[in-house]
Amino acid sequence: MTLLKVDDLVVEHRTPGRPVVRAVAGASLSVAAGEVVGLVGESGCGKSTLARTVCGIGRPASGTVSFQGRPVAPLGLRRRDSSLTGIQMVFQDPYASLNPRRRVGDQIADGLRTAADTSTTPADLLDRVGLPREFATRYPHEFSGGQRQRIAIARALAARPSLLIGDEPISALDASAQAQVARLMRDLAVESGAGLLFISHDLSVVRLIADRIAVMYLGKIVETGRTDEVWADPRHPYTRALLGAIPAPDGAGVLPAELPGDVPDPASPPTGCRFHPRCPKVMDVCREREPEFGPVACWLHEPA
C-alpha cells in the first residue's frame, strides 16, 4: 500500500530582489508502509526542501503530496489535523531540535499526548531507543549528540507515526554514531510497520538501511530502484559519478574520480537535461530536451 505519494512536486523559494529558486522542480516519489526509502544527492539538490514539504513545512508551488490518500495541507497557525500527525520528522541537528529548557521526558510526552496514548510512558520510549529509563528527568545539554538524536527519535516515535522522515538525521553526529543511529531508525520504523523516508548525503549509510534508493539532482529525481540493484548497476551517469566518488578501502591509494564542476545554481538551471554540463556521456539531445521519464531519467535509458 502506498503510504506517501509525491507527484510532480514543485517548490519554489522566493526572496525579494532575487530570482525565484526552484528547489524542487517536478519530483515524484512514493513510500510504502514498512518500506525504507533513501533519498540521496549532493547538498543543495533540494532533498531537505522535499522532506519539509512532505510534512507540511513549506507550501508546494504545484504538484501534490498525499499521505494515506489524503493531501498534506501546509502547516498553519491552527492545530494540525490528527490524520496528519502520522507523519513525524527527525531533524538534522539535535542540538537545535530539542528544547534546551525542558526535560526530555516532557518533550517526549508531547508526542504521546498527540497520539492520545495513555499507556506508554516517556521512559518506555527511551528504553526503545536504547537509553536508560531514568534519563527522562534530564535536560538535553546533559547528553551527547548521538544520545540527543536518539531522544529526538523517541519523541517522533511517541506520536505513533506511520511515516517517519529523517532529514539528514545523522550528519550532525560523530562518525561512529552515524551507522548506529541510522540502523536504529530503520529497525524502529520497520518494527512498527511505518514507512521511513531517510534523507542523507552519505551513500554508505543509505546503502546499509534503505530498501529503495532515490537519487536527486538539482530538484529532480534522476534514478530510483532497489538499493542493491542501483548499487550493483547504477545506470544514470550521475549515480555512477556519485558511487564512483566513494573511495574504496583497498589500500591501493587510488584517488576517487572527481566529478567536474559544481552543482549549478538552481535559480538558473541548464536547459535540457539538468546534468548535461557535468555529464561525461552528454549527447546532443541532452542539451535540448529534458528527460521526463523514469526510473532512470537519462536519454541513454529511455524506456521503449
Closest by CA position to 166, among listed 36, 274, 253, 59: 36
Of 120, 122, 145, the C-alpha closest to 132 is 122
Of 129, 158, 221, 241, the residue at the interface with other proteins (CB under 8 A) is 241
For the chain, helix, strand, coil in percent to 5 are 35, 20, 45
The yes or no reply on residue 215 touching other proteins (CB under 8 A) is no
| Part of the chain binding other proteins (CB under 8 A), chosen from 21-29, 61-69, 106-114, 244-252 | 244-252
Q: How far is the CB of 8 from other proteins (least distance, A)?
A: 26
Residue from 69, 100, 251, 303 touching other proteins (CB under 8 A): that is 251
Q: Does 17 bind other proteins (CB under 8 A)?
A: no
Q: Per rule CB under 8 A, is residue 192 in the interface with other proteins? A: no
Q: What is the 3-state secondary structure (H, E, C) of 264-296?
A: CCCCCCCCCCCCHHHCCCCCHHHHHCCCCCCCE
Burial track 40-51 (b if 16+ CB lie within 10 A, e otherwise) = bbbebbbbbbbb
Give whichever of 120 and 171 is closer to other proteins, judged by the CB atom.
171
Which of 62, 64, 137, 204: binder of other proteins (CB under 8 A)?
204
- From 207, 235, 283, 285, residue interacting with other proteins (rule: CB under 8 A): 207
Size of the site for other proteins (CB under 8 A): 39
Candidate segments 110-118, 133-141, 248-256, 280-288, binder of other proteins by CB under 8 A: 248-256
Q: Site for other proteins (CB under 8 A): which residue of 81, 256, 288, 302? A: 256
DSSP state at residue 140: G
Q: Which residue, 201 or 301, has its beta carbon nearer to other proteins?
A: 201
263 binds other proteins (CB under 8 A): yes
8 Å CB contact between 151 and 122: no
What nine digits make up the cell of 178? 552515524
Minimum Å gap between C-beta 86 and other proteins is: 26
Q: Between 15 and 176, name the residue whose CB sits nearer to other proteins.
A: 176
- Spatial distance between the Cα atoms of 105 and 194, rounded to a whole number of angstroms: 23
Cβ proximity to other proteins: between 125 and 259 the closer is 259
Query: At closest approach, how far in Å is the CB of 262 from other proteins?
Result: 6
Nearest to 123 by CA among 106, 139, 142: 106
Q: Which of 206, 248, 195, 256 is nearest to 231 (CA)?
A: 206
**Which listed residue (19, 74, 247, 280) binds other proteins by CB under 8 A?**
247
Closest to other proteins by CB, 30 or 180: 180
Question: Alpha-carbon distance 27 to 300, whole Å?
Answer: 20
Cβ closer to other proteins: 52 or 186?
A: 186
Contact 2, 67 (CB under 8 A): no
Q: Which is nearer to other proteins, 112 or 185 (CB)?
A: 185
Residue 267 as a binder of other proteins (CB under 8 A): the answer is no
Cis bond leading into 280, ω under 30°?
no
Kindly report the number of other CB atoms within 10 A of residue 258's CB atom. Answer: 9
Query: Binding residues for other proteins, per CB under 8 A?
Result: 42-44, 171, 174-180, 183-184, 187, 201, 203-204, 207-208, 228, 241-242, 245-259, 262-263
